[in-house]
Chains A and B, each alone.
Chain A
Amino acid sequence: MNDGNYNDACSRITLRVNGAAKQLDVSPWTTLLDALREQLHLTGTKKGCDHGQCGACTVLVDGRRSNSCLSLAIMRDGAEVTTIEGLAEGQALHPLQQAFIDHDAFQCGYCTPGQICSAVGLIREGRARTPDEIRELMSGNICRCGAYPQIVAAIEQAMGHEEGR
């Protein structure tokens, strides 16, 4: 237990971010969101409300969608983190990225990285089959431009639900 001592100085942690091991020094109060943006310069993940209400900060931690603004980086030591920057395979966009373009599923784009990471988690969870279920299980991601119909359509396409309509 850290030699029984509390730690209020910086700690060295290791995160596997988008497939690469990254060592960084964080304070106990550094959020995963701030560590990604300010230390690793992965600014695709956005700080919206910073209170877990808007979903703009959504990333995948050990494969599951999470609000990085409410995660303390020090508690994620050893975790695998995937951000929007880690979804494409080289020049080939992730199917959800392509689907968001195909369906014009954004206007200002600020919520989009969180929407897409959340949708990756949603599809992996395998619980949403209908548009209503997609809407319910994407309710943690707010789009103030109101692109919701296009977002649902994009997710349906990526789920392979587009055929047969």
Chain B
Amino acid sequence: MNRFAYLRADDVGAAVRAVAADPSARFIAGGTNLVDLIKENVERPTRIVDITRLPLGEIGPGERGGLRIGALVKNSDLAYHPEVERRYPLLSRAILSGASAQLRNMASTGGNLMQRTRCSYFYDTTTPCNKREPGTGCAALGGFNRMHAILGASEQCIAVNPSDMSVALAALEAVVHVTGPEGDRAIAFAEFHRLPGDAPQLDTNLRQGELITAVELPALGFAEHHAYLKIRDRASYAFALVSVAAALELQGGTVTEARVALGGVAHKPWRDREAEALLVGRRVALEHFQRVADALLQGAVGRGANDFKIELARRAIVRALSHAAGRTSRDDARR
């Protein structure tokens, strides 16, 4: 492994100052992605700042009736937290469909949001990659791009965000709390990750030295009507080809609120509020779900090996919405 210097941070301010001062420094918490990327020579930090001893490991009430999740809460602790299971089961399901039990025991909430694409060309330092080395080109464009983006990509990068948790957080409209050299700010989940455009080396809108301190869930958790559907090559422990977080509020069979977020299809969790709005005021019916799917996938572009994802996503959206509409708390209890 490449060598690096190590600093154990005792307080948030010192951690932020240490990384703000050095563009090649990285925060480390669970390390499940960063250590791997260092081994692969994709990340070459000269310094890492260990934040695991900072007091960011609590889950508690948020402002406005939601839940505030400390950035260091482990994925497994979050998925199995009684309040999350009861009020935000969509989030539990998404988390538990990702990685393995061992990795979930290590990986942190903040780190999950910061994990990098698993594009095989990003990992392969012998190939061009604009995300790894800006300006070198994109080997995935004409390469093996079965896993790659169908929405929101650019000619510079067709990588996808690999997170399952983030797909649920996008649907739930979580807020990411960060602190940085210029103070604290709150970032709407939709604004946290970014599309590749002509700067695919940037996965998020975080500024140098900014540290995620918490993720806040709003009060509305869609505990009654939700589904997380993940389509992948293996039954377990594989990244999504397509995943769908669907969440509905229903009153007497009529939709009053609809959220659909897609994973595995874009550089960030994909939402389209206009598409979701097509459901509001409608009865639960397959034809309406199909219209939403069509709207969400308007503009989808295949790159050859991933053409199948467009139809796969269409069907997955309809199935997830149908499942969400049919799901009741009794189903969860029976599970």
Interface of A toward B, CB cutoff 8 Å = 1-2, 4-8, 11, 27-29, 31, 50-52, 55, 58, 64-67, 70-72, 74-75, 118, 121-122, 125, 127, 135-141
Nearest CB on A from B100, distance (A)? 2
Interface of B toward A, CB cutoff 8 Å = 1-11, 14, 28, 31-32, 35-36, 38-40, 47-48, 50, 52, 76, 80, 99-103, 105-106, 235-237
Judge whether A121 and B3 touch: CB under 8 Å: no
Q: A65-B101, A70-B106, A139-B237 are in contact. Are A7 and B7 (CB under 8 A)?
A: yes
Judge whether B100 and A8 touch: CB under 8 Å: no
Most chain B CB atoms below 10 A, which of A29, A135, A137: A29
Contact among A5, A66, A72 for B102, CB-based, below 8 A:
A66
Judge whether B5 and A75 touch: CB under 8 Å: no
Nearest CB on A from B117, distance (A)? 15
Nearest CB on A from B18, distance (A)? 8
Contact among A51, A74, A137 for B101, CB-based, below 8 A:
A137
Residues of chain B within 8 A of A29, CB atoms compared: 1-4, 38
Most chain B CB atoms below 10 A, which of A4, A72, A141: A72
A165 to B4, CA, bound (A): 54
Residues of chain B within 8 A of A141, CB atoms compared: 100
Nearest CB on A from B164, distance (A)? 14
Q: A1-B7, A1-B9, A140-B100 are in contact. Are A66 and B106 (CB under 8 A)?
A: yes
A117 to B194, CA, bound (A): 39
Residues of chain B within 8 A of A135, CB atoms compared: 235-236
Q: A52-B36, A66-B106, A70-B106 are in contact. Are A75 and B100 (CB under 8 A)?
A: no
Shortest beta-carbon contacts, A-B, top 10? A140-B100, A28-B6, A139-B236, A6-B5, A8-B5, A139-B237, A29-B1, A1-B10, A64-B105, A140-B102
Nearest CB on A from B163, distance (A)? 16
A31 to B1, CA, bound (A): 10
Q: A52-B36, A74-B6 are in contact. Are A122 and B101 (CB under 8 A)?
A: yes
A6 to B7, CA, bound (A): 5
Contact among B50, B99, B102, B103 for A75, CB-based, below 8 A:
B50
What are 14 A-B residue pairs whose CB atoms fall within 8 Å in the complex?
A1-B8, A29-B4, A31-B1, A52-B103, A64-B105, A67-B32, A70-B32, A72-B35, A74-B50, A75-B31, A121-B105, A125-B101, A139-B236, A140-B100
